[in-house]
Chains A and B, each alone.
Chain A
Amino acid sequence: MAPSVESIVQFENVGLRYGTGPEALIDLSFTLFSGQFYFLTGPSGAGKSSLLKLLYLAQRPSRGMIRLFGSDLMTLARDRLPGFRRRIGVVFQDFRLVPHLSAFDNIALPLRIAGMRDQDIATPVREILDWVGLSARGDALPATLSGGEQQRVAIARAVITRPDILVADEPTGNVDPDMAVKLLRLFEALNRMGTTIIVATHDVHLMTRIKRAQMMRLEAGRLSDPTGALRYPPRPSDMTGWADKAPQQGEPRR
């Protein structure tokens, strides 16, 4: 797909290798457009988390070119990376909450990092806590929260700043179906406000919930559709072979 003024992420022949091992991602070339909703699918070990790491700037590619918000990441000055990261909300697969901060303080962390004053923080944090159904658990430490509650705190932290891009790695893996749908509605609402959403998931049911979402499928480190022409709904041929292999909850994934 040709670059466009609306493109927010561009990958060109991107490869990622950890140490001296084989490439985890091979020749990825695609463009993501601002305000779109993308699902990233693929079997376990296909490289979904590695791709997300490139997207949320936790990793540099071993080769190729990545443009984010119109800037070439390979030539971008290091001191500009934090500013870019603040425009990207991330829901980590393992939540990555700060264990000694309450749910409230975990959610407030991106706002504090952005320099917001304490008196301006309370209202948006309480609103989002209410939205994820945790208004009574604001003072609780992560260790005292259930897996589902921790996941909701992680999601609330990722969306509190209304980022330009939201990257979520299995964001509904630990919540019940009703809460999963509710969280997806939150993502959809954010998407309607202009946030580009990228959700890595194995949950086929979830993917059918967002009518205008597009799908990216990774297999053995390569996009299964090398043109990056993403489509919805996924064709049955796209789904066979990986949905069955999807790990069950609790099974370790890459």
Chain B
Amino acid sequence: MIGALFPTGHDRRLIPQARLTGPMPWVIAVMLFLTLLAAAAALALGSAARQINADLAGRATVQIVNADGDARQKQALAAEALLRSDRAVASVTQVSEAEVRALLTPWLGSGATSRDIPLPALIDVDFRAQADGATLTRLRRAMQPVAPDARIDAHGQWLKPVFDLIATLRWLAIALVALLALATTASVMLSARSSFAAHADTIDIMHLLGSTHQQIARLFQRRIALDAALGALIGCLLAAPVLWMLGRAAARLDSGLVSAGSFGPIDWLLLATVPIAGIALAVFTARVTVLGALRKKL
């Protein structure tokens, strides 16, 4: 089955080619190397966006800012009770004052432990699903009568600029993959055309001896398939250590954001389809180019 893709001994003699001394495998190798990097970036950024979204978009913090400790605590309890009864909310955790002070100590020093500094009451809210704007507005309105000093902040909102940047970079990476595919197509078209011109006499003879256009196109597409397979192999061998090193460097950063961009099995599977898609694209392009040139013959 795979053998049918590649030229037989006779085909190779009929349309001889330079193999690795020719430019085509190397052009495809470079294109594929770059495509793999761009595709890996697109997948990593997509994975990061999904991961961060899953971690943060379903969470919010309610702050009650009131200098009067009793009033603050009363409003906090009321807000907590209201949130618990809401169907959109999965769980509610009131952050203890001790925890809030401990959180602030690195910034405020030992002064943070002073009872003289009023601190807001904090309530962590986990939603059943992603908290949309409508849910947050509804909760704000519901809390207004019982906890007028409550302010609800969705975690996703804080990271919106980061999300936007990730989304832009991801689309940029996808656009790069598309551009590289276009460039590969153009290179294969040029190569097929020049090969067609170089073997014009042979093609003419085959044509007059009764070759069908499909038979002639098959010779070229098999030839390009072999070039593309060699190029894909070289491209993959070059890209694999680069991706591995980038992965290791990212892991060493130990940042939640970066580790969220690691590859899962499906991502690796998608990356593995890149060389196969590259070979298929090259073969298809060669076929269309040669059939187009043959259409001018009787």
Contacts and interface: CB of A to CB of B under 8 A. Distances in A.
A63 to B, nearest CB: 16
B209 A86 contact: yes
A69 B92 CA distance: 89
B298 A81 contact: yes
Nearest to A163: B210
Interface string A71-102: 00000001101111110001000001111110
Contacts of B212: 79, 82
B228 to A, nearest CB: 23
Contacts, number: 56
Main secondary structure of the interface of B (DSSP, over half): helix
Most buried by B among A60, A81, A82, A109: A82
Interface residues of B, number: 17
Interface string A104-139: 010001101110001000000000000000000000
Contacts of B206: 109, 113
A113 to B, nearest CB: 5
Contacts of A58: 208, 298
Interface string B181-199: 0000000000000000000
A105 B298 contact: no
B256 interface: no
A56 interface: yes
Given A82-B212, A85-B210, A60 B202 contact: no
Nearest to A111: B209
Contacts of B209: 85-86, 90, 109-110, 113, 157
Nearest to A84: B210
A187 to B, nearest CB: 18
B211 interface: yes
B10 A96 contact: no
B215 A113 contact: yes
Interface in B1-30: 10, 13-14, 16
B201 interface: yes
A101 B298 CA distance: 25
A247 B204 CA distance: 27
B298 A60 contact: yes
Interface residues of A, number: 28
B222 to A, nearest CB: 14
B205 interface: yes
Contacts of B298: 57-60, 78, 81
Most buried by A among B10, B16, B201, B210: B210
Given A100-B16, A101-B13, A101-B14, A114 B205 contact: no
A157 B210 CA distance: 13
B183 to A, nearest CB: 31
Given A59-B298, A100-B16, A101-B13, A113 B210 contact: yes
A110 B210 contact: yes
5 contacts: A56-B208, A97-B205, A109-B14, A109-B205, A113-B215
Shortest 7 CB-CB distances between A and B: which pairs? A86-B210, A85-B210, A82-B212, A82-B210, A110-B209, A113-B211, A98-B202
Interface of B: 10, 13-14, 16, 201-202, 204-212, 215, 298
Interface of A: 56-60, 78-79, 81-86, 90, 96-101, 105, 109-110, 112-114, 118, 157
